[in-house]
Amino acid sequence: KGTSTGTTSRADGTYALNVPASATELIVSSVGFEPSTVSIGTGTVVNVSIKTAASQLESVVVTGYTTTARKKFSGSLVSVGIEDVRKQPFGSFDQALQGAASGVSVVANSGQPGSNAVIRIRGNGSLSGGNVPLYIMDGIEITAADFASLNQGDFERLEILKDAVGTAMYGSRGANGVVVITTRRGRAGQLNLNYDMQIGYSKLPEDRLIVMNSQQKIDYELQRGNPYGWTTAEADSLRKVNFSWRDALFQTGVTQQHQISASGGTANSRFYASLSYLNQEGIVQTTGLKRYTARVNVDNNIKNWRFGVSLQVGYSKIVGTREGDAYIGSPLNAIRWSNPYERDKDPNTGEYQTFGGTGVLTSGQPNAALELFVNQRESLQFKGVGSAYLEFHFPFLKGLYARTNWGGDFAQNEGSIYYDRTTYTGAQASGGNGSLGRSANRQFRYT
């Protein structure tokens, strides 16, 4: 006591410490225990017992303009289990909200990687207007289009305001409910380094669709008059094909996510930083999402002043495919309609099978493999979100403070769609010459 001399105990609690002759007392402290002061005396061994510090954490609610105790909050609010959200390596975090909160409907908009879900809080509030809830992250408004570039591993809290409280705080924008996201902040103490990894897989459900094999389909074609004019030898050869369009177009999609983060600081300055990488393969071949994110949060205290900044950047690349029942070349339609005696490629040349150079098989159906592997649909997004705050705590009244926030949100989106002229879709566009379409937009918002 009264000096800077100290030591750390071993795992079994033993310790060794050289003290000056003038030392009379020893201070012992540990996280989760009450500090204890003992007399050194004249011996060389000092045994110390410390008591557990009993404490109870109170639930808090983070809203648009304040943080308050949960028991004092009168609005309708749901706190989502953030650990469950972090552990699920979705390309868009909103899909992890399915079944996580009562009164909140979450429906997947598409099965493609990176696609966001449709969220409705307490149903549709308007027949003709918008029903999309408001999304707030660290005080800054974001949109559902940004979710593919966000890393849910950086989330500290996720709360949903479901009643008029959202309107009172955010005006008409909060009429459809508000999803409030608070990201992780640094805490005073030693430097903490963490590495997280999640690996999962997805695949097409069990195939319960019973379709004809090659022999059955050839026999059926012959019974209806042999419309393609096959000889007996050709028909016998086709009976042996039994090509699986399901295996040619679908795959077991592997998803992996890696994140490294660091946090720490002192009582006056704290930080949190992270880097993450996500690679999500779709169940349809060639489809997938790759995402890279980086985040830095810094908080500082100087006497009665509090200030901090949050910066996050993300880059995502989504490769998709055309879908929907109206598109006859989609993979799901192909496994129902394409003939089992036709292959995706010529076994002799390795070239994609077409009929007359139009991307259509003998049966008249598009070659779904040609549509999938030759045509291209991809979108790129670069996302940057930054915010800063400044607080002054008035010394004459505890709990009274003034706070101001600034924020900026930048997004750059690029998309491209290419239909090769050898495919069925490309043959239908621009006089059979195929098509290439590009789009780009930039958006900046500030608060």
Q: Which residues contact 28 (CB under 8 A, 6 or more apart)?
A: 35, 36, 37, 38, 48, 50
pLDDT class of 65 with cuts at 50, 70, 90: very low
Query: Cα(177)–Cα(428) distance, rounded to whole angstroms?
Result: 44
**Can you give the pLDDT at residue 255?**
92
Contacts of 302 (CB under 8 A, 6+ apart): 268
Phi, psi of 383 (to 5 degrees): -130, 135
Q: Decide: helix, strand or coil at residue 222.
A: helix
Indicate if the pLDDT at residue 116 is higher than 80.
no
- The least confident of 39-43, 138-142, 313-317 is 39-43
What confidence score (pLDDT) does residue 348 get?
86
Q: Residue 311 burial (CB < 10 Å; 0-12/13-18/19+)?
A: middle
pLDDT digits (tens, 9 = 90+) for 175-186: 788 888 889 999
Say what the pLDDT of residue 99 is.
73
- Which tokens is 239 given? 């009976």
Q: What is the DSSP string of 115-183?
A: PPEEEEESS-S-SSS--PPEEEETTEEE-GGGGGG--GGGEEEEEEE-SHHHHHHHGGGGTT-EEEEEE
Q: In what order do the strands lie in the sheet with 140-142?
A: 77-79, 155-161, 178-183, 134-137, 140-142
Q: Of 87, 113, 115, nearest to 100 (Cα)?
A: 87
Decide: pTM greater than 0.85.
Answer: no
Identify the structural domains of the chain with CATH numbers, from first to last: 1-55 (no CATH), 60-183 (2.170.130.10), 214-249+323-374 (no CATH)
Tell me whether strands 178-183 and 134-137 are parallel, antiparallel or unpaired.
parallel
pLDDT of residue 55: 52
Amino acid at 323: E
Question: Tens digit of pLDDT for each residue in 416-429?
Answer: 999 888 888 888 87
C-alpha gyration radius of the chain:
31
Tell me phi and psi for residue 190, to 5 degrees. Answer: -70, 160
Q: What is the enclosing helix (H) or strand (E) of 445?
A: strand 435-446
Parallel/antiparallel/unpaired status of strands 25-28 and 67-69: unpaired
The residue among 327 and 237 whose pLDDT is bigger is: 237
Task: Name the percent of the chain lying above pLDDT 90.
Answer: 30
